[in-house]
Chain A
Amino acid sequence: MIALNWYLALGAVLFTIGVLGVLTRKNAIVILMSAELMLNSVNLTLVSFSAHLGDVHGQILVFFVLCVAAAEAAVGLAIIISIFRNNLSVDITKINLLRW
Chain B
Amino acid sequence: MITYLFILFGILAIGSALAVIFNKSTVNSALFLVLNLISVAALYLLLQAQFLAVVQILVYGGAIMVLFLFVIMLLNIGDETERIFSRFSVKYMVSFLLGAVVLSQLLYTVGSLSGTLPAVSGEMATVGTVEAIGNEMFTTYLLPFEVTAILLTAAVVGAVLIAQRKIKQQDS
Residues of A whose CB lies within 8 Å of any CB of B are 1-21, 23-27, 29-30, 32-34, 36-37, 40, 43-44, 47-48, 50-57, 59-60, 62-64, 66-75, 77-82, 84-86, 90
Contacts and interface: CB of A to CB of B under 8 A. Distances in A.
20 contacts: A3-B114, A11-B106, A12-B103, A21-B20, A36-B33, A52-B117, A53-B117, A54-B120, A59-B127, A59-B128, A59-B133, A64-B144, A66-B55, A70-B64, A71-B155, A75-B155, A75-B159, A81-B71, A90-B75, A90-B77
Given A60-B137, A78-B160, A24 B84 contact: yes
Interface in B47-81: 47-49, 51-52, 55-56, 59-60, 63-64, 67-68, 71-72, 74-75, 77, 80
Contact of B159 (A48, A52, A67, A77): A77
Contact of B47 (A19, A23, A47, A75): A47
A51 B3 CA distance: 16
Given A4-B117, A71-B151, A14 B68 contact: no
Contacts of A30: 20-21, 26, 29
Interface of B: 2-3, 6, 10, 13-14, 17-18, 20-21, 26, 29-30, 33, 36-37, 40, 43-44, 46-49, 51-52, 55-56, 59-60, 63-64, 67-68, 71-72, 74-75, 77, 80, 84-85, 91-92, 94-96, 98-99, 102-103, 106-107, 110-111, 113-114, 117-118, 120-121, 123-124, 127-128, 132-133, 136-137, 141, 144, 148, 151-152, 154-156, 158-160, 162-163, 165, 167
Contacts of B120: 52-54
Given A67-B152, A77-B68, A20 B21 contact: yes
A20 B148 CA distance: 30
A33 B33 contact: yes
A56 B75 CA distance: 41
B113 to A, nearest CB: 7
B152 to A, nearest CB: 6
Closest 6 CB pairs of A and B: A71-B155, A21-B21, A12-B106, A23-B95, A78-B159, A78-B163
